[in-house]
A and B are shown apart, each in its own frame.
Chain A
Amino acid sequence: MTNELTTWLDTLLAELEGIRVRRTSRRRLRVDVASDALPALLELLRGRASFVHLSAISCVDWIDAGQFELVYHCWSYEIQSLVSVHTRIPREPGVYISVYDIYRPAAFFERDIHEMFGVWFEGSPDLSRFILTEWDGPPPMRKDFDSEAWVNQHFDWQDYHPDWLKDLETRGGGIAVPPDEQRFSRRNVDET
């Protein structure tokens, strides 16, 4: 059954331009395709080859190449294979086409990628904020977003000096433990 699939995909090479197929293991197939041919390929996979289950859409930010890589993982319950379709789109302006009309679960993943990477999907039913509802910064999963710098820039380090700690601090310590209660101190070990 799985061999049939590769021959089927081989014949597809003639139909679609710029497609590369590589078998990575018995049940895994990696397909690299140009971004304008991807919806057509997914439609063929779903319609003709029973890949009805869109397992996930992953986004990778290749900042040095100036590209986003979108990976569509499709599973067939009949052939029992997983096809990962890789495509790359330019990082700027980061706009792509939704595959919601082919796969319904795409709505969640596209919303998530839009929120985390700032990729706009034309035709996706709902790209409103979901997880980062009150976030007004840049999309945080992009590689040029530095979490630590953001924290230092937007938040202050707070000093914690409550009243109950004040006289301990004047005595020159944080939390004082009487010597006989210091169970793990080196000195107690030496004495015994």
Chain B
Amino acid sequence: MRPENYEAQRQPPSYDYELNIGPNHPGIEGNYAFKLRLNGDRVIAARADAGYLHRGFEKLMEGRLWIQNLAITPRICVPDPVPMEVSYCLAVEDLCGLVVPERAQWLRVLQLELSRIAAHLFIFGGHAATTGMYTPMFWGIADRDLILDLFEEMTGGRVYHIYNIPGGVRRDLPDGFGERVTNTLDYLESRLPDYDNLLFTNQVFVHRARGCGPISQQQALEWGVTGPNLRATGLKFDVRRDDPYLVYDQLEFEIPTEEPGDAWARALVRRREIKESIRIIRQVVARLPTLAGPIRCPIPNPLAWNVPAGSTYTRVESSKGELAWYVVSDGGERPYRTHVRGPSQMHAVQVLEQLAIGCRIEDVAQIMFSLDACPPEVDR
């Protein structure tokens, strides 16, 4: 039919329909679902639907020994497991009053920052893929694999490391590891201009990402948004600097911020954070040979370990934002209660539901990936 002969059928003004995206969908990160109410291709209401990854970890941890729970903690967030381990260990150390040797603290920072780069590369590629560009995704996953190789050598595990234990870390670095880290960092740094050329100067990405899902600073504070999403609205806040843990107060690094608060700004903040993490790791690698000494402090028999009664709230900065554990002990061999506050609990549910309203259907996936929503953190 020629366009001039085509007469559009008029729909009643209330014509809208519902669309369920997920739980297994290329536009959704992890197993998560969205019930979208649409008018044409405009979203008029969105409702998050979680629970596909609920494994009851908080309940499970109440029935296990303090040391056994280490196997559970990294599984709460799959792409960025290290902050989970570290913050749980920090909580147990705080309750017991353990002092972690300095070398172990630097090793933890090394692992945390490697994990941050890996998680940023992962989401960075995922974000590009939602705008139809798959090359950055393949590159991101391939480059992330080099960090997983380092993890494998350092900890024995590629995805879940369980490298940290209360009181320190499990083992020291292999010989010549610092050199291999430096080589990988050199390679990653040389890749960054390629990423810029491929993605950040790419007009498709610029047009799709600019102005997509904007959050103002006031909204971000009101809705409890943290991490790169908060920094993309211009607020210079980072738990590593403002509520320092481990040895972050001895390290030099910038906190990148951007003003607009849209998907573009969020991607750019992550891109700049990769560079800062590389800078931190270089300092750690330079510092580690000067630090001799133990990698963990003596702890009681972990199979009969009564942690003193009390409660603590430990926060770390994960790649997605503020991550915290509230751990309560009643003086027993098992935690009385553990509660994890994942950063995605804020931006994957309430914020995403708000931001989706009014945008077009193809932008929903982009908003989710640009916020770096991590469903396992929501479900636990």
Count class of interface residues, chain A: 20 to 34
Within 82-96 of A, Cβ neighbours of B (below 8 Å) are at 82, 84
Docked complex Cα distance between A46 and B190 (Å) = 46
Q: Determine if B336 and A60 form an interchain contact, defined as CB atoms under 8 angstroms apart.
A: yes
Residues in A neighbouring B349, C-beta threshold 8 A: 108
On whether A140 and B350 interact (CB within 8 A), knowing A52-B221, A104-B224, A133-B51, the answer reads: no
Q: Determine if B223 and A56 form an interchain contact, defined as CB atoms under 8 angstroms apart.
A: no
Q: By DSSP majority rule, is chain A's interface helix, strand, loop, or mixed?
A: mixed
Q: Determine if A55 and B51 form an interchain contact, defined as CB atoms under 8 angstroms apart.
A: no
Query: How many Å from the CB of A140 to the closest CB on chain B?
Result: 6
Query: How many Å from the CB of A9 to the closest CB on chain B?
Result: 18
Q: Determine if A58 and B345 form an interchain contact, defined as CB atoms under 8 angstroms apart.
A: no
Docked complex Cα distance between A80 and B51 (Å) = 34
Q: How many A-B residue pairs have CB under 8 A?
A: 82
User: Does B137 make an interface contact (CB < 8 A)?
Assistant: no
User: Does A131 make an interface contact (CB < 8 A)?
Assistant: yes
User: Does B42 make an interface contact (CB < 8 A)?
Assistant: no
Q: Determine if B345 and A108 form an interchain contact, defined as CB atoms under 8 angstroms apart.
A: yes
On whether A71 and B56 interact (CB within 8 A), knowing A77-B237, A133-B49, the answer reads: no
Q: Determine if A53 and B221 form an interchain contact, defined as CB atoms under 8 angstroms apart.
A: yes
A residues apposed to B, CB below 8 Å: 24, 27-28, 52-56, 58-61, 71, 73, 75, 77, 80, 82, 84, 103-105, 107-109, 112, 116, 130-133, 140-141, 147
User: Does B268 make an interface contact (CB < 8 A)?
Assistant: no
Residue from the list B50, B59, B224, B328 in contact with A54, Cβ < 8 A: B224
Docked complex Cα distance between A131 and B350 (Å) = 14
Query: How many Å from the CB of B356 to the closest CB on chain A?
Result: 16
Question: How many B residues have CB within 8 A of the partner chain?
Answer: 35
User: Does B242 make an interface contact (CB < 8 A)?
Assistant: yes
Q: Determine if A28 and B313 form an interchain contact, defined as CB atoms under 8 angstroms apart.
A: yes
Residues in B neighbouring A28, C-beta threshold 8 A: 313
User: Does B85 make an interface contact (CB < 8 A)?
Assistant: no
User: Does B282 make an interface contact (CB < 8 A)?
Assistant: no
User: Does B279 make an interface contact (CB < 8 A)?
Assistant: no
Q: Determine if B243 and A80 form an interchain contact, defined as CB atoms under 8 angstroms apart.
A: yes
B residues apposed to A, CB below 8 Å: 49-51, 54, 56, 58-59, 63, 221-224, 226, 235, 237, 242-243, 311-313, 315, 322, 324, 326, 328, 336-337, 339, 341, 345-346, 349-350, 378-379
Q: Determine if A108 and B346 form an interchain contact, defined as CB atoms under 8 angstroms apart.
A: yes
Query: How many Å from the CB of A136 to the closest CB on chain B?
Result: 14
Residues in A neighbouring B50, C-beta threshold 8 A: 130-131
Docked complex Cα distance between A60 and B341 (Å) = 14
Q: Determine if B56 and A140 form an interchain contact, defined as CB atoms under 8 angstroms apart.
A: yes
CB pairs A–B below 8 angstroms (7 shown): A24-B312, A56-B339, A58-B339, A105-B223, A130-B51, A133-B49, A147-B63
Query: How many Å from the CB of A99 to the closest CB on chain B?
Result: 12
On whether A105 and B328 interact (CB within 8 A), knowing A28-B313, A84-B313, the answer reads: no
Docked complex Cα distance between A45 and B149 (Å) = 47
Q: Determine if A71 and B326 form an interchain contact, defined as CB atoms under 8 angstroms apart.
A: yes
On whether A82 and B223 interact (CB within 8 A), knowing A105-B346, A108-B345, A130-B50, the answer reads: no
Docked complex Cα distance between A147 and B56 (Å) = 10
Residues in B neighbouring A141, C-beta threshold 8 A: 58-59
Query: How many Å from the CB of B250 to the closest CB on chain A?
Result: 16
On whether A55 and B324 interact (CB within 8 A), knowing A82-B315, A133-B49, A133-B51, the answer reads: yes
Other A-B pairs beyond A71-B311, A82-B313, 4, CB < 8 Å: A105-B350, A108-B349, A131-B378, A147-B63
Q: Determine if A60 and B243 form an interchain contact, defined as CB atoms under 8 angstroms apart.
A: no
Return the chain B residue nearest A125 by Cβ: B350
On whether A140 and B224 interact (CB within 8 A), knowing A58-B339, A105-B346, the answer reads: no
Query: How many Å from the CB of B95 to the closest CB on chain A?
Result: 11
Q: Determine if B54 and A77 form an interchain contact, defined as CB atoms under 8 angstroms apart.
A: no
Residues in B neighbouring A133, C-beta threshold 8 A: 49, 51
Return the chain A residue nearest B340 by Cβ: A56
Residues in A neighbouring B313, C-beta threshold 8 A: 28, 55-56, 71, 73, 82, 84
